[in-house]
Amino acid sequence: AQTVTQSQPEMSVQEAETVTLSCTYDTSESDYYLFWYKQPPSRQMILVIRQEAYKQQNATENRFSVNFQKAAKSFSLKISDSQLGDAAMYFCAYRTTRTGANSKLTFGKGITLSVRP
């Protein structure tokens, strides 16, 4: 079974600075998807960024980028120019590419990010 590990429960960053959130995962599959979701205090789940394992290029979305290290099974999220609105809980998630019974998101425990003004 796949597992996703987020070992840091909390992090803090100064506004306008850069922060990196760590995530590791374990799988025997060669092709899969990785995601970062943001959950602000409103508790809505917002997709931040997505990475296909077969792509070597790291995904980027504006101020958000990932460092995907497939061999190390590491998938960290970098937030540049942090803003107050980035304060939220962030979840790393894994999903197989196959449909069927196992085609579900496996979430990490999450990390609470606070942004200092």
Partner 1 sequence: GAVVSQHPSWVICKSGTSVKIECRSLDFQATTMFWYRQFPKQSLMLMATSNEGSKATYEQGVEKDKFLINHASLTLSTLTVTSAHPEDSSFYICSARKAGGFYSNQPQHFGDGTRLSIL
Q: Of 52 and 61, which has the nearer Cβ to partner 1?
A: 52
CA distance 51 to 74: 12
DSSP 8-state secondary structure symbol assigned to residue 58: P
Per CB under 8 A, contacts with partner 1 among 20-39 are 33
**Contact status: 48 vs partner 1 (CB under 8 A):** no
**Contact status: 57 vs partner 1 (CB under 8 A):** no
| Part of the chain binding partner 1 (CB under 8 A), chosen from 12-20, 64-72, 78-86, 96-104 | 96-104
Closest CA to 108 of 41, 1, 44, 23: 23
Q: How far is CA 24 from CA 62, 65, 74, 98, 112, in A?
A: 23, 16, 4, 21, 17
- Reading the block at residue 75, the tokens are 């998938």
Q: Of 17 and 31, which has the nearer Cβ to partner 1?
A: 31
| Part of the chain binding partner 1 (CB under 8 A), chosen from 13-21, 70-78, 79-87, 107-115 | 107-115
**Contact status: 56 vs partner 1 (CB under 8 A):** no
Side chain identity at residue 44, one-letter code: Q
- Reading the block at residue 104, the tokens are 């579900």
Q: Of 79 and 111, which has the nearer Cβ to partner 1?
A: 111
Binding site for partner 1 (CB under 8 A): 33, 42-45, 47, 50, 52, 89, 91, 97-99, 101, 103-105, 107-110, 112
